[in-house]
Chains A and B, each alone.
Chain A
Amino acid sequence: MTRDDALLSVRDLALDYGNGRGVRDVSFRLWPGEVLGIVGESGSGKTTLLKLLGGQLAPDAGTIHYRMAGGDMVDLNDLSEARRRHLGRTELAFVHQNPRDGLRLAVTAGGNVGERLMADGARHYGRIRAAALDWLERVEIEAGRVDDRPTTFSGGMQQRLQIARNLVSGPRLVLMDEPTGGLDVSVQARLLDLLRGLVADLGLTVVIVTHDLGVARLLAHRLMVMQGGRVIESGLTDQVLDDPREPYTQLLVSSVLAA
């Protein structure tokens, strides 16, 4: 694979919230099928970076180039609102830490999964419903719950529903913000298993933000370590976790409690 095949190419990205916080000088490339983990402490700019990638925030400086399904390279920040929104519900997906931010709580599970399809022009009820049922099965939610509202779901089920809702449109780039945060360990393990299977089966390209190094080791091929808005270290996951170079990364790795 040549260097020009990158799906995502980020250069000198910067955003200052006005108080010196935000992200600075972030550059990286992401190739199709790769899972990139972003780790770091709270306030290090992980989520800000993810929101910049997802187009929810506009950067002060820098560019984010994305290769469209047709092969064209576009700067996400130069796109018109209409194209950005279209991209956001077809090729991109954003999995929020709190499933309540990513779901419509007043709408049934089936409606939640079908929304992206309908927003993209699907007008055949039977086919939308079949897709919804298929995706519920893939994320291990019983078909009988398809007409229940997410408010009646457990936290783990809500998170799996949010994943189904995002993946139904066949996105090429999935951005995940702490997808396992706030779940107990057994539910976390099951979700990680599911995610690992989906990523492998669908060949997804994923950027996953987490402060849990265990999650990072299980899912990510490459890691970026952030501190104070900067990327201080990056490399293959095993390399970064087993042989950390920066003092902060060494501290981070050694802070993990062994069970």
Chain B
Amino acid sequence: MSGTEGYNFAYLDEQTKRMIRRAILKAVAVPGYQVPFASREMPLPYGWGTGGIQVTASVLGADDTLKVIDQGADDTTNAVSIRRFFARTAGVATTTRTAEATVIQTRHRVPETPLTGDQILVYQVPIPEPLRWLEPREAETRALHALGDYGVMQVELYEDIAIHGKIKRSYDYPVEVADRYMMSPSPIPKFDNPKLSDCPALQLFGAGREKRIYAIPPHTPVRSLDFEDHPFDIDHPGTPCALCGDTESFLDEIVTDDKGGRMFVCSDTDHCAERQAEAGHDA
């Protein structure tokens, strides 16, 4: 590695990684609980994944294969920069294939390809506190978590139904982890919420600016909040992906011209490319 002399493996020094690993262990032991940690300054701005990158640096080993996704895509600025960052500072192999990766750092999506028990999914989290917009005082939100006093979020969902006829929240949809803590799943679309539950992979969440780490251990029940008579439901535009024809995946709407032209394509670029390659192979 040229230009990285004097840097430790995966950028962070070993003491920092130990500190972060201790926070991760605690987070795994108490699913959904936000563990404070001494977040470091990273060579990228807050909001670009400083929490996720610190968690990734702490769990990464020399023989890991890293994949980084940003809104489902492997080729956007955030994904490319973080992937290159670890390729340089840790010299690990990188990939865009979900099935080949052992550590996947993600911003705002869960891959369409089902994860396995050999994988770790690291989420970048901007605001870890699900109650933040309902209760501004940090001391009070901690008390509410400690007491399991989550009525205020239910009021928020009630308001959606009363005003819009249904729960309108479509991303960062609050969940309850292991029948105890309410947790923000980070701004993933609510389409991805069902994938969090009983997932074989370890899911870690890092919030750098807010200095919190939380986790969903493998095979943990995760329930999206709802009402008995307004159950949790996912949205789908109802059209197949224009490129690979998938009717099940989460779609991005792409505006193609200024005359109202648009197309729906898979948000998960790896998933879409793989399906297109398969289709081409068959033909």
Contacts and interface: CB of A to CB of B under 8 A. Distances in A.
A118 interface: yes
Interface stretch (B55-63, B104-112, B148-156, B177-185): B148-156
A190 B152 CA distance: 31
Interface stretch (A34-42, A59-67, A105-113, A235-243): A105-113
A210 to B, nearest CB: 31
Q: What 4 A-B pairs are tightest by C-beta distance, nearest first?
A: A119-B151, A118-B154, A125-B227, A118-B151
Contacts of A116: 151
A89 B159 CA distance: 20
Given A108-B159, A110-B158, A111-B159, A85 B227 contact: no
Contacts of A108: 159, 162-163
A147 interface: yes
A146 B159 CA distance: 11
B229 interface: yes
Interface of B: 143, 147, 149, 151-152, 154-155, 158-159, 161-163, 226-230
B163 A147 contact: yes
Nearest to B148: A82
Contacts of B229: 124-126
A108 B230 CA distance: 19
Q: Do most interface residues of chain A lie in helix, strand or loop, or is the interface mixed?
A: helix
A53 interface: no
Contacts of A129: 162
A141 to B, nearest CB: 15
A125 B159 CA distance: 10
Contact of B161 (A85, A107, A125, A146): A125
16 contacts: A81-B143, A82-B147, A85-B147, A85-B149, A111-B155, A111-B162, A114-B158, A115-B151, A118-B154, A118-B155, A119-B151, A120-B151, A123-B227, A124-B227, A124-B229, A129-B162
A51 interface: no
Contact of A128 (B147, B149, B158, B226): B158
Contacts of B162: 108, 110-111, 129, 146-147
Interface string A135-151: 00000000000110000
Contacts of A126: 229
B151 A125 contact: no
Interface in A133-182: 146-147
A217 interface: no
Nearest to A126: B229
Nearest to B167: A125
Nearest to B228: A124
A81 B145 CA distance: 13
B151 A123 contact: no
Contacts of B154: 118-119, 123
Given A107-B155, A123-B154, 5 more contacts: A107-B159, A114-B158, A116-B151, A125-B228, A146-B162
A116 B152 CA distance: 9
A226 B29 CA distance: 54
A31 to B, nearest CB: 31
A221 interface: no
Contacts of B143: 81
A115 B151 CA distance: 7
Nearest to A124: B228
A11 interface: no
Contacts of B155: 104, 107, 111, 114-115, 118
Contacts of A147: 162-163
Contacts of A104: 155
Contacts of B151: 89, 115-116, 118-120
A231 B228 CA distance: 50
Interface string A89-108: 10000000000000010011
A124 B154 CA distance: 10
A125 B163 contact: no
B35 to A, nearest CB: 22
A128 B149 CA distance: 18
A115 B149 contact: no
A85 B147 CA distance: 9
A147 B160 CA distance: 11
B152 to A, nearest CB: 7
Nearest to A80: B147
